[in-house]
Amino acid sequence: MAAFLIRRLIQAVLTVFGVVTAVFFLVQLSGDPSALLLPTEATPEDAARLREAMGLDRPLAIQYLTFLSNAAQGDFGNSFRQRAPALPLVLERLPATLELAFSAFALGLILAFAASITVRLTRSERLRASLLWVAFTFQAIPVFFFGILLILLFSVTLGWLPSLGRGGLSHLILPAFTLATFELALYLRLLNSAFAQEQSQDYVRTAYAKGQSRVQVLLRHMLPNALLPLVTIAGINLGVLLGGAIVTETVFSWPGVGRLIVQAVSQRDFPVVIAGVFVVSLAFVVVNLVVDLLYAVLDPRVRLT
């Protein structure tokens, strides 16, 4: 276990380092941020002074080495726009992203479990086909378009739910449901396939032979084994939700990390972009490490070496 953790931690550090390095050089291709910060009447001398103040006049290699030295100490520089340290600005938005991502993640799994167990208990092929059709329909609709449809229906037409911002539970329902339904089809297919495979196993027939009910066999015996293929995919999807809710956060004006990164990209606020990507990539590798450990707990046959 110790060797596994050390190896995965090294892989995590290298992964985050590679992602941050790639983003550092990519943002340099987006243009000169001083052009957006100066008024239209600014002279070339004004632009030169601003670039010097921001450290953008130095060779790119020197900028990169300085960035690595500072980043190793948790300093990603100051936001060009807000004149404040970039990493604290990102961490201020992190709770909102975590709230949305975990809510959508939990809601998607709950809907998938409820639908799959209902299908197994009723043994209705028509119900299974109908649920899969609905789930695939949701998945086929682009996330931003589905979010706008929900806003038009529940906020504009019915007036039941708020459409923008972060507040109480009512503000969370629409963005969380938008994200949850997109992954529903994948979860349903995995669970349906896993249950079908477990149904033919000897331990299931033995449980029925002992007189156990369908509910007992399904929940006590089949469900733990059916979870195994879902754990890995669900863990990856959670990492994707943490970093990939950018569109949803933008549609619903949700004040999360994704929306902050989008705004920073449009403003060429390099320190905020890099700090945001660092936080997202770190969250992704941590989630994947937890998934590996959880898989070993659920399946004693797995050995972490």
H-state helical runs in 39-163: 44-54, 60-71, 86-122, 125-140, 143-150
Indicate whether 54 belongs to any domain.
Answer: no
Indicate whether 237 belongs to any domain.
Answer: yes
- Reading the block at residue 144, the tokens are 């931003």
Indicate whether 61 belongs to any domain.
Answer: no
Has residue 114 got a pLDDT over 80? yes
The number of beta carbons lying within 10 Å of the beta carbon of residue 256 is 25
Is residue 301 very low, low, confident or very high in pLDDT (cuts 50, 70, 90)?
A: low
Indicate whether 100 belongs to any domain.
Answer: yes
| Predicted local distance difference test score (pLDDT) of residue 164 | 82
Q: Which residues 6+ apart lie within 8 Å of 101 measured at CB?
A: 179, 238, 241, 242, 245
Question: Each residue of 166-209: pLDDT tens digit?
Answer: 877 888 888 888 888 877 878 888 888 888 787 777 888 888 88
Indicate whether 291 belongs to any domain.
Answer: yes
**Percent of the chain whose pLDDT exceeds 70:** 90
**Percent of the chain whose pLDDT exceeds 90:** 0
- 160: buried, middle or exposed (CB in 10 Å: 19+, 13-18, 0-12)? exposed
C-alpha to C-alpha distances, 267 to 40, 41, 81, 94, nearest whole angstrom = 16, 19, 8, 20
CATH of the domain at 222: 1.10.3720.10
In the chain, the number of structural domains is 1
Indicate whether 56 belongs to any domain.
Answer: no
Range 135-141 contact pairs with CB under 8 angstroms and sequence separation of 24 or more: 135/181, 135/184, 135/185, 135/188, 136/185, 138/181, 138/182, 138/184, 138/185, 139/181, 139/182, 139/183, 139/184, 139/185, 139/186
Beta bridge mates, 78 = 85
Mean pLDDT across the stretch 264-281?
86
Indicate whether 265 belongs to any domain.
Answer: yes
Give this prediction's pTM.
0.79
Mean pLDDT across the stretch 77-105?
86
| Predicted local distance difference test score (pLDDT) of residue 36 | 64
| Predicted local distance difference test score (pLDDT) of residue 39 | 67
Question: Each residue of 143-162: pLDDT tens digit?
Answer: 788 888 889 988 888 888 88
| Predicted local distance difference test score (pLDDT) of residue 298 | 67
Comparing 221 with 260, the larger pLDDT belongs to 260
C-alpha to C-alpha distances, 203 to 37, 127, 220, 239, nearest whole angstrom = 68, 26, 11, 34
Closest CA to 222 of 235, 233, 234, 213: 213
Q: Which domain holds residue 217?
A: 93-298
Has residue 304 got a pLDDT over 60? no
- Reading the block at residue 134, the tokens are 């609905």
End-to-end CA distance of the chain: 6
Q: Is 300 helix (H, G, I), strand (E, B) or coil?
A: coil
Mean pLDDT across the stretch 2-10?
77
Is residue 256 very low, low, confident or very high in pLDDT (cuts 50, 70, 90)?
A: confident
Question: Each residue of 12-62: pLDDT tens digit?
Answer: 888 888 888 888 888 877 766 666 666 666 677 767 777 777 777 778 888
Query: Most confidently modeled of 211-225, 241-255, 277-291?
Result: 277-291
Indicate whether 49 belongs to any domain.
Answer: no
Query: Can you tell me the distance from the alpha carbon of 195 to that of 115, in angstroms, rounded to the nearest whole number?
Result: 12
Residue with tokens 């529940």: 154
Has residue 280 got a pLDDT over 60? yes
Query: Can you tell me the distance from the alpha carbon of 269 to that of 33, in angstroms, rounded to the nearest whole number?
Result: 7
